[in-house]
A and B are shown apart, each in its own frame.
Chain A
Amino acid sequence: MKVRLLDIAHARSGDKGDTANVGVIALQPRWYDVLEQFVTRSRVADHFRGMIEGDVERYELPNLNALNFLLHGALDGGGTLSLKTDAQGKVYSTALLRMVIDVPDAEAKRLALPAVR
């Protein structure tokens, strides 16, 4: 079943130099495992291909039902150097929530995941 992250998670993003961070938090604690299993580092790197120049790192915070992604080279130099509207990476959060993941039907049903509309 196809599931859109916007329907199972919320997020906030910010900056450190030319790196944007996106913290993604499951809307329900039992959905955290889905994030951990399907929102992998490489999946996120694919998602942002062409938008960022560097690597992606992923960290897990099961205590907050959250993943933290670092998107390197995401801010056109960052801070005051950047010519971007989103020079501080404030809305990479919802850009990540556009991602659609494919969850096996049985698991999606067990967790009552909302299907993508």
Chain B
Amino acid sequence: MKEIVRVAAGQGFWGDDLDAPRRQVEGGQIDYLMLDYLAEVTMSILQKQRERDPSLGYARDFVGAMESILPAVLDREVKVVANAGGVNPRACAEAVRSVGAQRRGSKLRIGVVTGDDLLGRLDDLMAQGHALANMETGEALSSVRDRVLSANAYLGSDPIVEALHGGANVVITGRSTDTALTMAPLRHEFGWGAESWDQLAAGIVAGHIIECGAQCSGGNCLYDWKSIPDLANVGYPLVEARADGTFVVTKHPGTGGRVSVPTVSEQLVYEMGDPRSYITPDVIADFTTIRLAQDGENRVLVSGIKGRPATDKLKVSVAYRAGFKAVGTLVYAWPEALEKAQAADRILRERLDRLGLKFDRVLTEFVGANATHGALAGDRHDAPEVQLRFGVRGSDRAAVERFTREIAPLVLNGPPSVTGFAGGRPKVEEIVAYWPALIDKSVVKPKVEIIS
């Protein structure tokens, strides 16, 4: 058994730095590269892509990333775990295989994890009494069933571990938890049992710390932000883990950013609910047991983590069509920029009323005055400029479309000192909303195949 296993993060979401995976495999020694591509809304975008072309529906950036790191995977035996498969993990694996085939003697063994996709089984599951009630509102899924685009269970680490045991050097999953991508390699290497709750919880915490890429190594860090060096060349994080469940968070030498107790603490509290119960399919981790200590420059030692048995449910993410929205903006300049923007808002509302347009929601923000901090921002009546930001949402696409024609006229027929309209009319966007639910673990059957 290795004494230390190094898992590096190379992607925090689909759209993250394209070059980060290559920098992570070339910048120093690592054993595993973990790539997280799936945010909540990503699955529905991928589902729409697969509807148009059955060979799509996965994060195509991953194929480019694999091309850039292929030498490291083949020659230095760095293994890759990624949830890039989206709603079509097999097609993703095929695309990666053709990249591998370009190199003579390529020994890619690709593990493909499926079984998370519940879309084809939804009606059966609902008929069997699985209400898939919305975790926030309690509403049954039947109320939006005819508008559902995708439905995926969040799988835990089991199938990834199985693929690694089977000899895969690249594991591609669909909807798995972000944290499992880091924890599975540690389970595989250290042989942590399915009831080693403290170690499993440590793997989850390691995953939580690095799953957002550089957000734990100096990116988006408020603590002493001006002193964080060289973010242009920011080092993405990696963990050096031991079998006992302790690990060090660090980054490659010669990179920018910073790994310190404050930068790691900020990431630990990110998107946190009840810290005593961070629920995953594998284990419930207790974040109030985490100990952090600086362990040299750009090294933070993490220890003390406790876990307890997981629940018998899996989280399901359902995406459904939820109407339309559009947001238009105009910029008003000093003097009295805010008053001018407020006057334009009143005029616009009156005109929309007169047109008889009905929306579920109309929201005005004054960017530069109160858009993000509301009344807490205080009096900004002397701002150099204020952006009027006006949004509508509703189920009637025609009404939202009509609204988009009402912004530009204000340039000539509204309050003065107005500019910033060069982008043209706002675009109408179809809303794909997210419906979180729970389902019994026993009805979800993960599947692993290995192709080479």
**Contact present for A85 and B367 (CB under 8 Å):** yes
- B292 neighbours in A (Cβ, 8 Å): 64
**Contact present for B270 and A61 (CB under 8 Å):** no
> Which of A12, A47, A59 makes the CB contact (< 8 A) with B274?
A59
A16 at the interface (CB under 8 A from B): yes
* Nearest CB of chain B from residue A19's CB, rounded to whole Å: 8
Nearest A-chain residue to B224, judged by Cβ? A10
> Which of B272, B290, B376 makes the CB contact (< 8 A) with A63?
B290
**Contact present for B372 and A86 (CB under 8 Å):** yes
List B413-452 residues whose CB lies under 8 Å from chain A: 431-434, 436
> Which of A51, A61, A84 makes the CB contact (< 8 A) with B288?
A61
Given known pairs A18-B136, A21-B273, A93-B222, the reply for A83 and B361 (CB within 8 Å) is yes
B275 at the interface (CB under 8 A from A): yes
- B354 neighbours in A (Cβ, 8 Å): none
Given known pairs A61-B269, A64-B268, A83-B392, the reply for A76 and B363 (CB within 8 Å) is yes
**Contact present for A94 and B222 (CB under 8 Å):** yes
**Contact present for B393 and A81 (CB under 8 Å):** yes
Nearest A-chain residue to B364, judged by Cβ? A83
Among A21, A64, A91, the most chain B Cβ lie within 10 Å of the Cβ of A64
Q: Once bound together, how far apart are the Cα atoms of A18 and B434, in whole Å?
A: 11
Chain B contact residues, majority secondary structure: mixed
Given known pairs A12-B220, A83-B327, A85-B389, the reply for A91 and B373 (CB within 8 Å) is yes
> On chain A, which size bracket covers the interface?
35 or more
**Contact present for A80 and B433 (CB under 8 Å):** yes
B374 at the interface (CB under 8 A from A): yes
> Which of B266, B276, B289 makes the CB contact (< 8 A) with A23?
B266
Q: Once bound together, how far apart are the Cα atoms of A77 and B433, in whole Å?
A: 10
List A38-88 residues whose CB lies under 8 Å from chain B: 47, 50-51, 59-66, 68, 70, 76-81, 83-86
**Contact present for A79 and B433 (CB under 8 Å):** yes
**Contact present for A63 and B269 (CB under 8 Å):** no
Nearest A-chain residue to B378, judged by Cβ? A98
> Which of A47, A59, A79, A83 makes the CB contact (< 8 A) with B376?
A47
- A85 neighbours in B (Cβ, 8 Å): 365, 367, 371-372, 389
> Which of A25, A80, A95 makes the CB contact (< 8 A) with B265?
A25
Nearest A-chain residue to B135, judged by Cβ? A17
B262 at the interface (CB under 8 A from A): yes
B379 at the interface (CB under 8 A from A): no
Please list the residues of chain A having a beta carbon within 8 angstroms of any beta carbon in chain B. Answer: 10-19, 21, 23, 25, 27, 47, 50-51, 59-66, 68, 70, 76-81, 83-86, 91, 93-95, 98
